[in-house]
């Protein structure tokens, strides 16, 4: 008897098809849930920064929401369907997940053009980061790495953060053409624009002056002034 770890049923029959459909349905729901907060973010961003048309921003986010839901639903359906077939052919122990994941990923998330491409880029990069994190933790569980180097451990996560930022900043400074334009736009604002001889708090930054001051004061917490730590400041003002 073949038991499916993901598709919770025996053999492939009507239940298999229903499981694939339910997975497709849940993919749509998840994609919509993930993107709904971005609608409010788009409205707030357009109002606060006065950049772009509110309607245009909301329309773009709605497009992302639909593509996110469709692409994720396609992947879940393809993955579950292929896993169902392969496990009934006695191809299991993780091999079926690798095969189904690869095929589903190529079909559902392989497009890198237009709005669908931008959505896929975000999803794939997120999953890649989670996968790297998971494989590091798996290495700890298998005894390949010491437990203190696991990303769930304080020391391990600190090293993980250091390595990640070291690679990102090396590419930013020395091979910026290898990074996406949207990512480099943020990095330029953080590291290159701050080199320009401009007022410390210019007109564009005045809206953020109270928050800048608050965060700057919170640095005193690192020098033993616990009442100024960010945690205490947040608790004092926000509860």
Calpha distance 71→25 (Å, rounded): 12
Enter the pTM of the model: 0.80
pLDDT at 1: 38
Among 134, 128, 132, 83, which residue's Cα sits nearest to residue 104? 83
Give CA–CA dist 98/136, Å, rounded: 18
Among 44, 95, 97, 41, CA closest to 64? 41
Q: What are the angstrom distances between the C-alpha of 230 and each of 214, 224, 234, 238?
A: 8, 12, 6, 11
CA distance 16 to 8: 9
> 117 vs 201, which has greater pLDDT?
117
**CA angle centred on 141, ends 135 and 142, rounded to 5°:** 90
| pLDDT above 60 for 9 | no
- In angstroms and rounded to an integer, the radius of gyration of the C-alpha atoms of the chain is 23
Return the structure tokens found at 153: 């451990």
Span 65-75, pLDDT tens digits: 999 999 999 99
Nearest alpha-carbon partner for 111 in 122, 100, 126, 97? 122
Q: What is the pLDDT of residues 139-197, one digit of tens each?
A: 999 999 999 999 899 999 999 999 999 999 999 999 999 998 888 999 998 888 877 76
pLDDT of amino acid 3? 46
Query: What would the two tokens of residue 6 be?
Result: 């993901």
19-43: average pLDDT: 90
Spatial separation of the C-alpha atoms in residues 234 and 226, rounded to whole Å: 12
Could you give the CA distance from residue 62 to residue 32 in angstroms, rounded to a whole number?
9
The Cα 140–Cα 132 span in angstroms is 13
Q: What percent of the chain stands above pLDDT 70?
A: 89
Task: Please determine, for residue 7, whether its predicted confidence score (pLDDT) is greater than 60.
Answer: no
Q: 181 or 53: whose pLDDT is higher?
A: 181
């Amino acid at each position: 008897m073949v038991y499916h770890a993901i598709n919770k049923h025996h053999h492939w029959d009507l239940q298999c098809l229903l499981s694939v459909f339910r997975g497709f349905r849940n993919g749509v729901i998840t994609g919509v849930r993930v993107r709904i907060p971005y609608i409010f973010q788009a409205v707030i961003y357009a109002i606060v920064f006065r950049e772009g048309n509110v309607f245009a921003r909301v329309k773009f986010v709605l497009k992302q929401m639909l593509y996110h839901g469709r692409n994720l639903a396609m992947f879940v359906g393809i993955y579950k369907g292929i896993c169902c077939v392969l496990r009934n052919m006695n191809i299991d122990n993780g091999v079926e997940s690798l095969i189904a994941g690869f095929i589903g990923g190529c079909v559902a998330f392989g497009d890198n053009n237009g709005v669908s491409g931008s959505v896929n880029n975000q999803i794939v990069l997120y999953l890649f980061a989670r996968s790297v994190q998971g494989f590091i933790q798996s290495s700890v569980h298998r005894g390949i790495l010491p437990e203190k180097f696991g990303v769930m451990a304080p020391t391990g996560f600190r090293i993980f953060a250091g390595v990640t930022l070291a690679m990102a900043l090396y590419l930013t400074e020395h091979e910026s053409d290898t990074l996406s334009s949207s990512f480099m736009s943020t990095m330029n604002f953080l590291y290159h624009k701050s080199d320009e001889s401009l007022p410390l708090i210019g007109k564009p930054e005045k809206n953020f002056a109270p928050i800048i001051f608050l965060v700057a004061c919170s640095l005193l917490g690192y020098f033993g002034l616990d009442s100024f730590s960010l945690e205490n400041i947040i608790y004092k003002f926000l509860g």
